[in-house]
Structure 1
Amino acid sequence: MRRPHLRLPAAALCALVLAGCSSSSGSDDTGGGPVTIDVWLMRDSVSAEFQADFLEDFHARHPDVRANVQVQEWDGIGEKVTAALASNDAPDVIEVGSTQVAQYASSGGALDLSDKTAELGGKDWLKGLAEPGSVDGKQYGIPYYAANRVVVYRKDLFARAGVDAARIKTRDQWLAATRKLDQGGSQGIYLPGQNWYTLAGFVWDEGGDLAVKDGEKWKGALDTPEALRGMDFYRQLQALGKGPKDSDEAQPPQAEVMAKGDVAQIIAVPGGAKVITEHNPRLAGKLGFFPIPGKSAGTPGAVFTGGSDLIIPAVSQHHEAAYTFVKELTGDTWQRKLATAMSYVPNKTTLTDAVAGDPGAAAMAAGGARTGRATPHTPQWAAVEAENPIKDYLTAALTGADQKSDDAKASEAITRALNAGR
């Protein structure tokens, strides 16, 4: 599925089609000429400048491979990739949302790259990107880049209320600070009622999950004690602001809400700060970031890791050249450059120092590298998001409906979606 609501700002991409490129059909044996591979990268995943720099270096280092990069739109990409993988004319490398990999791998469309994991430094990959790229113990998706939510806050409102963001290390401290902000003349936090990725983090903090494997089937888990504790914390935090209980962070766009009013903090990717200052230039220099706090001071809160993996279609006739491209783009040198250029979290825990000078990206990396998670690892999770009973559950839980009944209903709906067709 598309990486939901990450909305990371970046310069628009351009397709770089190199003169003299031949078709990517046929085998790697081209009679002495360079092999041309077609690569699909997604809109706004990298800037045009980064793409051009990478390709220039790649072609200089690998003159036997020519890369034809084609930029794809997120809207409708799932159907397009599915059709390409089932055809005889697929591209040779495709960027996909990390949680899409299981769907493509289960259909036999993605190449098994398990034997390349060690060479690519897989032991250091971010858990939230590596796990969705693996199916039945085999690695199909190679982690590309990541992003996750942090707390974006108003420095001036924190100072006015006497709150020091640097001292907020635990969830209890966060609640106390937010309560103080809410009582000090500003809206303590703007947290929409249906921000289910944030709820997932609180549930994970408690040791629970949205769904669990039960034998050969999956079972919704929102009615477990762990999930109920996560929901209780969400309820307490959401009550310290004026966020709507029946919509998510996109309706209305929460960055625009923060720009217009006296909202002290929101939970968003750091790129949201740019949107805020675009709508209210007076807030330039007044926004800060810190990781979502966890239950104890030594561990940040769990966060959903959104981002992309790279896959090589099984039907590609240029597996070796495609792997060379993937190896370079996901290798340490270009991961450091990508993280710096795009304010992403790099794909390895050993590379997070690359964003130490970027406050927003550093706050992301502090959580994503240590406590980043993915949604339940099954190709059927897309069916859950299509129906999304978690959003309805959140609204019901926040509006005082029958909590026990709503927990059970939501879990049952997840169970049905995950086991449909079995």
Structure 2
Amino acid sequence: MRRRLLALLCVSACLLTACGVLPGTGGPDRRTVTVWLMKDSASQEFLDRFTEDFEHDHPDLDLDIRIQEWTGIGGKVEAALEADDGNGPDVIEVGNTQVPQYVDGHGLLDLTLESAAKWGRDDWLPGLAEPGQQRFHQYGIPWYAANRVVIYRKDLFEQAGVTAPPATRAEWLAATEKLNSGGNQGIYLAGQDWYTLAGFIWDEGGDLATEDGGRWEGALDTRAALRGMDFYRRLQSLGGGPVAADEEHPPQAGVFATGKVAQIVAVPGLARAVVQQNPALEGELGFFPVPGKRAGRPGAVFTGGSDLVVPVDTDAREGAIAVVAALTGAEWDTELARTMNYVPNKAKLAKSVAGEEGVAAMAAGAAQGRATPSTPEWAAVEADNPIKDYMTKVLTGADPATEARRAARRITEALTVAF
């Protein structure tokens, strides 16, 4: 009798396992979803909690999260998208401006229906959503964002009698002029900080390049773009930033830490590097969004960050979509933002980071954020960036309109060669 009872128990256990009723047993109905995420995008503690929660809610799925290095990731992703052996990733984190080059190779799954019907596509930050979209089809799903703000020294503002962060670009110029005295630089702004220039151009209604019938052309010579450059010129002159170098030559964090500089334009996280180099500035740094033309509306800024994509040839389509839905959904997206000091993928979720001054300023600006032109050929422009040369020439006295036409023509040529 005892032997018969043991046999029945064994048969029952085998049947339950084969039917997938016992989760976590590795039965044939369980699928593994392989996810590539970039180094330092999320903490291990966050990933552990997410994995546990996701697998609990999806007992038929196992997550295999593999961390990748940013260096060389472009070629690695392209190779994975071209492979058809079924061993590649099912979900990939990519930089928001990288999405167009992967769409161009027809390697990504079209997620338009899911994003429009279930994920609130209309509420996404434009700087994350627009690069992920090609001809009204959504391939990249916004995950998190980061962008520039103004980091300022509270003590120097107080000494200059500037009692509150400026709310408009006109106020910003006036305050910076007051700060640019007594041996202090009102602002340290390198002459070739073209990402910051792009924000001023967008704020004026211009663009770096525009598309017509699938063909891209440089647009630095439009009146709107020239107004953006003129504002940059006026602001940059209120400090000692080098006109023929960008913000990394020398690194502006070091200049801000050691010099008498009242402001820089940078991501909030740079403040940590400043304090590390000059501990005396602990508690003296504040943040505000890059001002816009009108009060109550921050200026446009370049939005960096990451989107999630799904290879079109994935063997775990439904599981991959479930992972994207969970990671980019309100619960886990806001949790990531709080954990890593990011901006969530929707402006209405910004309240989740309101308690951190620098991140709150970043989130306010992200609502007006943009990205570089959504074309895979834009990389050809940045490889030999004519915008930097244009900026230096204008800042050293050349005619802006003439130099803008030359730079716009070079951008068009770079895009046309690849086109």
Q: TM-score, normalised by structure 1?
A: 0.90
Q: Secondary structure at the match of 2:180?
A: helix
Q: 8 Å contact 2:380–2:418 — kept in the other structure?
A: no
RMSD in angstroms over aligned alpha carbons?
1.3
User: What's the counterpart of residue 4 of structure 2?
Assistant: none
User: What's the counterpart of residue 152 of structure 2?
Assistant: 153
Amino acid at match of 1:233: F
Q: Secondary structure at the match of 1:209?
A: coil
Amino acid at match of 2:221: D
Taking only the aligned residue pairs, the percentage that are identical comes to 60
Q: Secondary structure at the match of 1:329?
A: helix
Q: 8 Å contact 1:90–1:315 — kept in the other structure?
A: no
Amino acid at match of 1:140: Y
Q: Secondary structure at the match of 1:145?
A: strand
Shift of 1:90: 2.2
Deviations 1:247-295 (A, max 9, x none): 1111111111101111111000000111111111111111000000011
- In structure 1, C-alpha distance between the alignment counterparts of 2:51 and 2:312, rounded to whole Å: 24
Aligned residue among 389, 394, 399 for 1:397: 394
Shift of 1:421: 4.0
1:193 aligns with 2:191: yes
- In structure 1, C-alpha distance between the alignment counterparts of 2:161 and 2:187, rounded to whole Å: 16
Aligned residue among 55, 76, 81 for 1:59: 55
Shift of 1:403: 2.8
- In structure 1, C-alpha distance between the alignment counterparts of 2:239 and 2:127, rounded to whole Å: 30
Moved more, 265-274 or 113-122: 113-122
Q: 8 Å contact 1:165–1:290 — kept in the other structure?
A: no
- In structure 1, C-alpha distance between the alignment counterparts of 2:93 and 2:379, rounded to whole Å: 18
User: What's the counterpart of residue 99 of structure 1?
Assistant: 97
Give 1 or 2 for the bigger CA radius of gyration. Answer: 2
Q: 8 Å contact 2:341–2:353 — kept in the other structure?
A: yes
Amino acid at match of 2:341: S
- In structure 1, C-alpha distance between the alignment counterparts of 2:245 and 2:69, rounded to whole Å: 26
**Unaligned regions of 5+ residues in structure 2, if any?**
1-25
1:219 aligns with 2:212: no
Q: Secondary structure at the match of 2:211?
A: strand
Q: Secondary structure at the match of 1:36?
A: strand
- In structure 2, C-alpha distance between the alignment counterparts of 1:258 and 1:80, rounded to whole Å: 37
Shift of 1:238: 0.4
Shift of 1:405: 2.6
1:125 aligns with 2:121: no
Counterparts of residues 229-244 of structure 1 (less than 5 Å) = 229-244=227-242
Compared with structure 1, are the counterparts of its residues 100 and 228 closer, same or farther at alpha carbon in structure 2 (3 Å cutoff)? same
Shift of 1:57: 1.5
Shift of 1:53: 1.7
Counterparts of residues 21-420 of structure 1 (less than 5 Å) = 32-88=28-84, 89-117=87-115, 118-166=117-165, 168-369=166-367, 371-420=368-417
Shift of 1:300: 0.7
Shift of 1:299: 1.2
Deviations 1:48-106 (A, max 9, x none): 22122211222222221111111111111111111110112321110000111111112
**Unaligned regions of 5+ residues in structure 1, if any?**
1-29
Moved more, 399-408 or 375-384: 399-408
Moved more, 410-419 or 32-41: 32-41
Moved more, 406-415 or 30-39: 30-39
Q: 8 Å contact 1:109–1:313 — kept in the other structure?
A: yes
Shift of 1:46: 1.2
Deviations 1:303-362 (A, max 9, x none): 111110000001111011111111111110011111111111100122010011010110
- In structure 2, C-alpha distance between the alignment counterparts of 1:328 and 1:215, rounded to whole Å: 36
Amino acid at match of 1:203: I
Q: 8 Å contact 2:226–2:400 — kept in the other structure?
A: no
- In structure 2, C-alpha distance between the alignment counterparts of 1:63 and 1:31, rounded to whole Å: 11
Amino acid at match of 1:272: L
**Moved segments of 4+, more than 4 Å:** none
- In structure 2, C-alpha distance between the alignment counterparts of 1:259 and 1:323, rounded to whole Å: 45
Q: 8 Å contact 1:127–1:373 — kept in the other structure?
A: yes
- In structure 2, C-alpha distance between the alignment counterparts of 1:318 and 1:165, rounded to whole Å: 53
User: What's the counterpart of residue 13 of structure 1?
Assistant: none
Q: 8 Å contact 1:161–1:184 — kept in the other structure?
A: no
